[in-house]
Amino acid sequence: MTVPMGFGVSGGRESKEKTSEPSSPISPMSPTSVPPQTPTPTTGGHESLIPIKAAPLGSPGVSIEFVLHPGGALNLDGEHDNDTPLRFRTLDNVLGPSSLPGWARHSLDVELLLAFGDEPTTFEEARSEEIWRKAMAEEMYSIEQNGTWNLVDLPPDHRPIGLKWIDKIKRNEKGSIVKYKARLVAKGYIQQVGIDYAEVFAPIARMESVRMVLAMAARGGWYVHHMDVKLAFLNGDLQEEVYVQQPPGFVAAGHEGKVLRLKKALYKLKQVSHAWNQKLDSSQRDLGFIRCASEHGLYTRGVAMSRVIVGVYIDDLIITGSCTKEVKAFKDEMKCLFRMSDLGLLSYYLGIEVKQNRGASL
């Protein structure tokens, strides 16, 4: 890189005087000096100089060397006099011999931080930690207690669907860990419609219906209760013939070549939502409920002062009615049919915050 010389901060005339004559420290009798060359005018008002060497300026052994115009446009000072001849020097000649800086040395105290509570991404990672092995064992116990499958030989012309573990950490609103959850899911993305499943649709209560139920409860002075079905999708009965591989880490000893025929649904199967909704719908009808003709996520039982209204959103149930005794009876019936979580009075549902008091004002 070259640097134009011959203009200073004072600009104009002073710069011209500095560059038109050799600086006084340069002695014409010095053995390292050569006479200055006569500039040759070029287009654009600039001048091209033959390289010359002059005696050092306060730096013994280092001489000043001027070079030819490097070409291209020059970014000159706004006060530069175009009549002033320009001379150019390389940066190395201005700054002296230099080399690339290379990598800078930096003193850093390295501290190893162990991150606790990370979710494993593979089964190999999960089985290396006791807390996740325990979580997987609990999930397997729940599935087997539910009568989800039978161990069988794979029939001809069938292919089993793979299974995998998904490990999640559940935290509270403060970010503290409350549970390590391992869930066994099917690789449903390989299922083929018409072969592995037929129907996938499952109705849910619309937000307009939920608001209507809350409005009715507020007007009638009814309390609204909230319940959740534990492992809801595992309760759905399968109509299709579905085979899955044995879960990683839980292969039956001596039966490694066998597969599992599903009697009930597993998470991530294409038809899992439909199977669960069919199971819930049949159970509600058996309990004497009538499904709303225009809203299949809404059920009612009884009339007048004994009426109970149930809104269903997948596995979340909101329950209200004019008779507290009838509401409690329904909650006990559901606990006999499924594993339920009784969340008490409704406080938050589908983004709606609900506040209930003695007057049941919402």
- In angstroms, what CA-CA distances link 102 with 97, 98, 99, 109? 15, 12, 9, 22
Comparing C-alpha atoms, which of 154, 146, 168, 135 is closest to residue 250? 135
Q: Quick one: how far is CA 199 from the chain centroid?
A: 31
Q: Order the strands of the 149-152 sheet from edge to edge.
A: 149-152, 259-262, 243-244
Distance CA 201, CA 271 (A): 8
* HEC-encoded secondary structure of the chain: CEEEECCCCCCHHHHHHHHHCCCCCCCCCCCCCCCCCCCEECHHHCEECCCCEECCCCCCCCCEECECCCCCCCCCCCCCCCCCCCEEEEHHHHHCCCCCCCCCCCCCCCCCCCCCCCCCCCHHHHHCCHHHHHHHHHHHHHHHHCCCEEEECCCCCCCCECEEEEEEEEECCCCCEEEEEEEEEECHHHCCECCCECCCCCCCCCHHHHHHHHHHHHHHCCCEEEEEECCHHHHCECCCCCEECCCCCCCCCCCCCCEEEECECCECCCCHHHHHHHHHHHHHHHCCCEECCCCCCEEEECCHHHCEEEEEECCEEEEEECCHHHHHHHHHHHHHHCCEEEEEECCEECCEECCCCCCCCC
* pLDDT score for 90: 81
As given in the structure block, the two tokens for residue 295 are 């809203």
pLDDT reported for residue 161: 93
Q: Is the pTM of this model over 0.85?
A: no
pLDDT of res. 349: 86
How many alpha carbons lie under 13 Å from residue 22 in its C-beta half-sphere? 20
Q: Tell me the pLDDT tens digit for each residue of 326-347.
A: 999 999 999 999 989 999 999 8
Q: Which residues contact 314 (CB under 8 A, 6 or more apart)?
A: 202, 204, 232, 273, 276
Successive 10-residue mean pLDDT values, the chain, 362 residues: 46 40 41 43 44 49 74 69 75 72 61 58 90 93 90 92 92 80 91 87 91 92 92 88 93 94 92 93 95 94 91 93 93 93 89 75 53
Report the alpha-carbon distance of residue 295 to residue 204 in Å, rounded.
8
Tell me, what's the pLDDT at 20?
41
CA distance 163 to 165: 7
Cα 87 to Cα 67: distance, rounded to the nearest angstrom: 7
pLDDT at 14: 40
Q: Report the distance separating Cα 280 and Cα 263, nearest Å.
A: 16
* Distance between CA atoms of residues 202 and 281, nearest Å: 10
Exposure letters 89-114 (e unless 16+ CB within 10 A, then b):
beeebeeeeeeeeeeeeeeeeeeeee
- Residue 41's pLDDT is 44
